[in-house]
Amino acid sequence: MGKKVTIKKQLAMKYFLTSSPSVAMDGAINPANGFLDKLRNELLHPIRCIFITTHPDDIQFSEHCSTCMRQAFEDVDFVFESYTLLDRRTAPEAAELISDANFIILGGGHVPTQNAFLHDINMPKLIKKFNGVVLGISAGSMNCARIVYAQPEEPGEAVDEDYERFLPGLGLTEVQILPHYYLCKDQKVDGLKVYDDIAIPDSKINCRRFYVFPDGTYLYGNNGNETIYGEFFIIENGTMRKVANNGQHMGLPFV
């Protein structure tokens, strides 16, 4: 009898990392760049969804974001068999909830706060066994990187020498996303412009490359292949350049 060969099962997880899946805050799902149709085609049925908040101890915020996202999807005829908010109250059940789910939504908000919660529930380990679809929203997309660029966004963070700008993430991708470009490009934190004075100089640290997404742009990953759909920019080595427009898509990696 020949030697038994063990075939390693390939990870079936697929992921959509968005700046925002909505037209506006708490608004309708944005179909730009084929997002809605592509997501609809990838989801398994019946849909069993987990919404992971960015602020696990803020019940009102978490429930509001979770409810708005569910309603937005139901408005375009998504039907959920189950839809569960994962916050501090349900954290002890995280492993069971994620094991049973086939759709995980990582909500938007404060990157370091969500990052800490993801590690609290052992999400980097749990996600390795997940075989469904992951949808990242803003901070949720940022935390999907192996190394997360937590760009300062709250008062005091940009001038705090102890603030950690690079954090360990979920490891789904090497891509470090900066969302909401047109909404954030003129903003300041602690008197510093978020792009000219923070992100662009930070790109010089260990030759980082940041992918800047406007709302409506998303990264799709499947079996090791990644494609960006829509308009995006790249920041690297202290410079910023536009790479693609809406309606275009580009596979990674590229020079």
- What does the pLDDT read at residue 206? 87
* pTM across the whole model: 0.93
169 is a domain residue: yes
DSSP H/E element including 34: none
Number of domains in the chain: 1
d(CA 1, CA 250): 48
187 is a domain residue: yes
- What does the pLDDT read at residue 101? 98
206 is a domain residue: yes
4 is a domain residue: no
DSSP state of 126: H
- What does the pLDDT read at residue 253? 82
54 is a domain residue: yes
- What does the pLDDT read at residue 12? 80
**Residue 59 lies in domain:** 14-249
70 is a domain residue: yes
124 is a domain residue: yes
d(CA 186, CA 154): 15
- What does the pLDDT read at residue 24? 75
- What does the pLDDT read at residue 3? 39
132 is a domain residue: yes
d(CA 146, CA 241): 23
Give pLDDT < 70 ranges for the chain: 1-11, 25-26, 254-255
CATH code: domain of residue 47: 3.40.50.880
- What does the pLDDT read at residue 4? 37
- What does the pLDDT read at residue 2? 40
Q: What is the DSSP string of 112-161?
A: HHHHHHHHHTTHHHHGGG--SEEEEETHHHHTTBSEEE----STTTTT-T
Which residues, in sequence order, are CB contacts of 121 under 8 Å at separation 6+?
86, 91, 94, 95
